[in-house]
Amino acid sequence: MKLLHQFTIILFTVQFGFSQNNAGSISGEIRDAVTKQPLPGATVLIVGTRLGIVANENGYYVIKNIDPGKYVLRASMIGYESSTNADVTVNPLRNKSIQFNLNSSSVEMETVEIQSDYFSKPAENIVSMRTLSPEEIRRSPGSAEDIFRVMQSMPGVATAGGKSAQLIVRGGSPDENLTLLDNIEIYNPIHFARTGESMGIISIVNPALLEKVDFLTGGFPAKYGDKMSSVFDMTLQDGNKELYNSDINANIAGFGLMVDGPIAENGSMIFSLRRGFFDMLTSIMNKPAAPRYYDAVGKITYDLNPQNRVSLVGFYYIDQIDREGTTKESSAMSKYDYLARDDYGSAFGLNWRSLFAHNAYALTTVSFTGNGWTTRQGTLTNRSLRGEDILENEYMIKSEITYQVHPLLDLKIGGQQKFIDSKNESWLPEDTTRTGTIIPATTISFTPKTTSKSALFVQANYHLFLPLTISAGFRLERFKLTNEMNLSPRLAVSYQVLENTTLNAAYGKFVQSPASYQISPDPRNLSLKSSSALHYIVGIEQRVSDDSKATIEIYHKDLLTVIVDPDSTNLLLNTGSGYSEGIEFSYQKKFTSGFVGSASYSYSVSKRKDNALQSLYDFEYDRPHIINLISGLEIGNGWQVGAKFQFASGNPYTPAASAVSKNGTYYLVDGPINSARYPDYHKLDIRVDKQFLIGDWSLTAYLDLWNVYNRENIISYSFKADAAGTIILNPRYDFGVTPIVGVTAKF
């Protein structure tokens, strides 16, 4: 702990004075959660103080002259359930933007006190949902303020190790997860994570930009489609309308700048720009060149009038690797002297929200999403022995109408149309795998005509009587390239058996169409159909107190017509099947009284088979036991400490069973598929934060110490046979003790 002690000494040596005149403010909007109508007259209070205000005719409020510090903010209105944000930080001379969406209450008597809700959620998201705020993301131990690493600690989610930020949800693969940014679908939200791969370093989106993140790990409603496992739905903040705020932050992962504030009379903006540090650090240390990355994310919001709001959202990223010297592909024994890899992506969209009636609104999105990469590998004299040029662009328009037919019934109807333009060109020289299989030289050129995907959906939420809510819907999808149509029904039910106890259940069919990287290697892959999953979920939720809850969920997923690669050719088939099932126990306490915490345990089984004649085997992402324990404590004078412990069973792998000689060279013979497991994975992370108030700005420094007790977690093995036929096993380890030091300045 010497490093932690030194860090504490450094922080104490840079204490600064604080002026009592540097008050901040909080502003935002209060709207009906279903109709998005403003709620004039709603009250916003800072709990434990006399500060508060009533929203104006547009549902807008501003609370001024707030001393810097942490607060609990509560919004309430007669006829609505009050809503509480338990984690609001006010900084000197800055404005904090906090939005509230209030749900109508079934309690009609004005004299009845309605319990405040720390865990409000849309009526259609009945099961398997967790919502996080940017402050919860920021201070999470072991995450280095990365959104996806925080989500790896959620119930039913397995960590892929410190070297990957990908999400493995309830035994599914990372490419089964849908990611949205302000209603815009994005391909790869993680730097250095290509489609179909399980790696990836850090999120593209700066968490300081976010208003919230909704993470649905199963049973999601009909508005979401074309993915089988989960939904990761990020909502960007609107820039605040009062003051200009600026943030500068730096840690081992990179340097970033964020600004937000008003533009014109009825508009606001928020923008972030980041640049990675990896290449700079390795250059200073005279090490081989490391990856470099850049990303930019922004949003401009403008009110045309009280009923119509438009927002322009966009992001861009580029990841680059250039390396000379020996590189080795994990899939073969081929070695190359040169590697150049560029990954890039962008998304731009316009959202138009129109409150066209007092009980209805429409949300229309027009967007472009692009994703691609290039690779060149070879020798210094021939740098293109193998390579690829991949590009996929989507142009999409989608619209949905939400209509409150009755206070007990709301209806959502929508549709979307995508136009897809893709290119896949790649070339490989003849090669030999470690098992002696000869891979012939291949060239792929797949440039299909622009194709389309279309979808229609309907979702109804009906409060049949006081304790019972039914959310039912269906989604109809068509993929022109493979000439198929799928109908996916969804149903969820919630029944409040006691005042603080609710039983929940959900069923749904979820389909995922083949991706271009799966179709392109062989023309026969145009006959591929969508993979599908049937979700069955039951659970119980217990509100332990206003700020804490406990849940138990049992789930089962049947997997059908899964796309598999049966041999070493490029022909893929829909002959795969399997299942995933498990039980999850979780407890969550929001940040109140200076303490936050959560605990979860998951037991699951994930099985697959590639054809009807094959026996079931453990899927590569099967992690039977997962434990996550997280806590955080505010200890005064700007100090916060937090800790996270993670445990996960080792995931399966296919071992090398023996070595055979072919033409004087020994090659490996694989044992039964996924018949062995890596050692169990576990580690302890500790985070220490200290905030300094320096005149009219603030500085927050932190130390995020990963793997405190230096556990040697093995994340993979490589096998090879030496000249005598002896099998040599080399482990690849996750990070050992790793200090992440970061600083954020707000002014």
Q: Is residue 715 part of a domain?
A: yes
| 116 and 207 housed in the same domain | no
CA-angle at 458, arms to 454 and 461, nearest 5°: 155
Distance CA 59, CA 660 (A): 75
Please indicate, yes or no, if residue 142 is contained in any of the structural domains.
no
pLDDT higher than 90, residue 606: yes
What would the mean pLDDT of 318-336 be, rounded to a whole number? 61
Let me know whether 68 and 158 are in one domain.
Answer: no
Domain-located, residue 16: no
Q: How far is CA 8 from CA 11, 12, 252, 666, 723, in A?
A: 5, 6, 19, 55, 54
132 assigned to some structural domain: no
Please identify which residue in the block is written with the tokens 């169409």. Answer: 513
Could you count the other beta carbons within 10 Å of the beta carbon of residue 48? 8
Answer yes or no: are the C-beta atoms of 158 and 715 closer than 8 Å: no
> Among 13-22, 305-314, 353-362, 529-538, where is mean pLDDT lowest?
13-22
Contacts of 94 (CB under 8 A, 6+ apart): 24, 25, 243, 245, 746
The confidence band for 403, taking pLDDT boundaries of 50, 70 and 90, is: very high
Same domain, 454 and 382: yes
Kindly state whether residue 698 falls inside one of the protein's structural domains. yes
Burial readout 506-536 (b: 16 or more C-beta within 10 A, e: otherwise): bbbbbbbbbbbbbbbbbeebeebbbbbbbbb
Task: Let me know whether 106 and 208 are in one domain.
Answer: no
Tokens of 500: 């603080």
pLDDT band for position 286 (50/70/90)?
low
Q: Please name the amino acid found at residue 407.
A: P
Q: Does one domain contain both 545 and 646?
A: yes
For residue 622, the domain's CATH number is: 2.40.170.20
User: Greater confidence, 103 or 252?
Assistant: 103
Q: Is 491 in the same domain as 613?
A: yes
Domain that holds residue 49: 22-120
Percent of the chain past pLDDT 70, that is, above it, reads 90
Predicted confidence (pLDDT) per residue in 78-115, tens digit: 989 899 988 888 988 889 999 999 988 754 434 344 45
| Amino acid identity at 52 | G
Task: Read off the pLDDT band of 326 (50, 70, 90).
Answer: low
Q: The CATH number of the domain where 91 resides is what? A: 2.60.40.1120
205 and 115 inside one domain: no
Distance CA 650, CA 385 (A): 36
Asked which of 120, 137, 160 is the last residue of a domain, the reply is 120
**pTM, 2 dp:** 0.89
Q: Copy the structure tokens of residue 257.
A: 């700048």
For residue 382, pLDDT over 50 is answered with yes
Which of 101, 120, 139 is a domain's end point? 120
Q: How confident is the model at residue 543 (pLDDT cuts 50, 70, 90)?
A: very high
Query: Does 410 map to a domain?
Result: yes
pLDDT at 5: 44
Sequence-ordered strand ranges (E) for 407-450? 409-428, 431-432, 438-439, 442-446
Cα–Cα distance for residue pair 49/67, rounded to 1 Å: 11
Question: How many other C-beta atoms are found inside a 10 Å radius of the C-beta of residue 307?
Answer: 14
Question: Do 60 and 171 lie in a common domain?
Answer: no
Q: Which is it for strands 177-181 and 230-236: parallel, antiparallel or unpaired?
A: parallel
CA 260 centroid distance within chain: 23
Q: What is the mean pLDDT of residues 2-10?
A: 41
The pLDDT value recorded for residue 577 is: 95
State the average pLDDT over residues 174-200: 80
* C-alpha–C-alpha distance, residues 454 and 157, integer Å: 30
Q: Poorest-confidence range of 262-276, 419-433, 524-538, 669-683?
A: 419-433
**Is the predicted pLDDT of residue 19 greater than 80, yes or no?**
no
Q: Is a pLDDT exceeding 50 seen at residue 13? A: no
Confidence (pLDDT) at 333: 34
- Cβ atoms 707, 683 nearer than 8 A: yes
The span from the CA of 720 to the CA of 433, in Å, is 10
Last residue of a domain, one of 103, 120, 137: 120
Please tell me the predicted confidence (pLDDT) of residue 197. 55
Q: How many CB atoms sit inside 10 A of residue 620's CB?
A: 17
CB 200 within 8 A of CB 192: yes
3-state secondary structure of 525: helix
Beta strands in 527-650 (DSSP E): 531-545, 548-564, 573-592, 595-609, 617-618, 625-636, 639-648
Per-residue confidence (pLDDT) for residue 236, from 0 to 100: 94
Same domain, 214 and 314: yes
The structural domain count of the chain equals 2
313 and 225 in a common domain: yes
Tell me if 133 is assigned to some domain.
no
- The least confident of 245-249, 379-383, 540-544 is 379-383
> How much is the average pLDDT of 28-51?
94
8 A C-beta contact, residue 123 and residue 51: no
188 and 82 share one domain: no
Give the whole-angstrom CA distance, residue 640 versus residue 628: 20
Residue at 369: amino acid letter: T
Phi, psi of 468 (to 5 degrees): -115, 130
Q: Which residues pair with 579 in a beta bridge?
A: 558, 607
Please say if the pLDDT value at position 4 is more than 60: no
State whether 95 and 34 are in the same domain: yes
Mean pLDDT of 196-220: 82
Give the residue from 218, 213, 156, 137 showing the smallest Cα distance to 179: 213
Q: Does some domain include residue 131? A: no
User: CA dist 124 to 197, 219, 506, 602, 655, Å?
Assistant: 31, 10, 10, 24, 44
